[in-house]
Chains A and B, each alone.
Chain A
């Protein structure tokens, strides 16, 4: 933990080697969260890159009371949630040809067959709950960490996760698979 905070202090001083090490350490996990939220590998890489760039630009404002991972997940989820907003407005607008030129995001990333039902069921879970589920299961983050990352209360974290999982159970039950 302290080693990571030391790394952040170096990043704040503009140390590119420290920044590369931070990117090396976290890009896999961040990529998993972004990939599951955004659905495509290319979009996920773009989101992770943007999150790291914001991290580099804002490193001087990093508060060492935060775990580095919590701080990075906050930045990454901010980027991903905004990308989801953009997609929602783009889908609402019928003229997609020009909008498509602004962003090549397309959800053509197909998960392995075993997860297809779960993948479809997750699409029905409200966005905030989906974000929390991704963070919870990618890195086993605690309720307290989740609350801090999304700026909400621990009780809200619990109720959102419970609601999301209830929805998943109901959906998977309907499909006759994965019912626990």
Chain B
């Protein structure tokens, strides 16, 4: 198969070893069928959630995301923030965004709850931490139940990721929008890349960066780290600062 592996040279022992090692595997007979079946399934649960979402904001940031009725924005600034949040949530739920830029306004939230929500914010995209991890982080290691309550009253779910907090035994725990949505969000984040490069500009961005929105699908290349991207000639974006 590889008569000339490198610039016309005869394959050497390493080439032959690599060719053997990377020999195509037999796919399980039912894999193509399973794939085709999965393509017929839809992920409408998250789309239904999006359609029900109401968003409130002050001039400082988003103050509520929920499914109940919402008040009208008091200022033009608040209206713009709501539009931004709606777009970011839309992209997030479609696997096109791995971070939120829109500011939140937690000024009316009690201190303990605010520190819990801030701690949850430090859980990386696509990962999970235990309620006990949050409790330890906010300096009240025994207050696991209170942490659960504080997260359960998160006024800005999705944007502040209380869905990334699970039980220590790996159980889902509760969620404002229901355990089914929490489970789907975990699956969504597991399949959404975090870093993508543009092959025409050779710039690497966080997924969801304004640059990425204009990127053609066939120009997208995923990277595992900024260092990896640098090693093959890409530079980090100055807008979304993926290294920061």
Contact = CB atoms under 8 A, between A and B. Distances in A.
Tier of interface size on chain B: 35 or more
B217 A85 contact: no
B126 interface: yes
Q: Which of A71, A82, A119, A128 has the most CB of B within 10 A?
A: A82
A19 to B, nearest CB: 6
Nearest to A58: B217
Contact of A85 (B40, B219, B225, B231): B225
A36 B26 contact: no
A118 interface: yes
Nearest to A149: B221
A99 B128 contact: yes
A168 B14 contact: yes
Interface in A92-118: 93, 95, 97-103, 111, 115, 118
Contacts of B59: none
A29 B26 CA distance: 8
B224 interface: yes
Contacts of B23: 32, 138
B30 to A, nearest CB: 11
A24 B194 contact: no
A103 B34 CA distance: 20
A178 B14 contact: yes
Contacts, number: 186
B170 A100 contact: yes
Given A36-B21, A169-B14, A74 B218 contact: yes
B28 interface: yes
Contact of A95 (B39, B124, B129): B129
B111 interface: no
B244 interface: no
Given A32-B22, A49-B34, A165 B127 contact: no
Interface residues of A, number: 76
| Secondary structure of the B contact surface, majority rule | mixed
Given A85-B195, A152-B233, A27 B166 contact: no
Interface string A46-73: 0011101100101001010010000100
A16 B36 contact: yes
Interface string B194-209: 1111110010000000
A98 B17 contact: no
A70 to B, nearest CB: 10
Contacts of A119: 21
A86 interface: yes
Given A56-B39, A137-B21, A63 B218 contact: yes
Nearest to A135: B22
B127 A89 contact: yes
Given A24-B32, A178-B13, A53 B38 contact: yes
B224 A82 contact: yes
A127 interface: yes
B221 A78 contact: yes
A13 interface: no
Contact of A98 (B15, B26, B36, B128): B128
Interface string A110-151: 010001001100000011100001101111100000000011
B119 interface: no
Contacts of B18: 118, 133, 136-137, 168
B163 to A, nearest CB: 11
B194 A82 contact: yes
Contacts of A81: 193, 222-224, 228
Given A31-B25, A31-B27, A115-B20, 4 more contacts: A28-B25, A35-B25, A88-B225, A165-B14
13 contacts: A16-B40, A23-B32, A27-B31, A27-B35, A32-B25, A45-B31, A66-B218, A74-B221, A93-B127, A97-B168, A151-B202, A152-B232, A162-B6
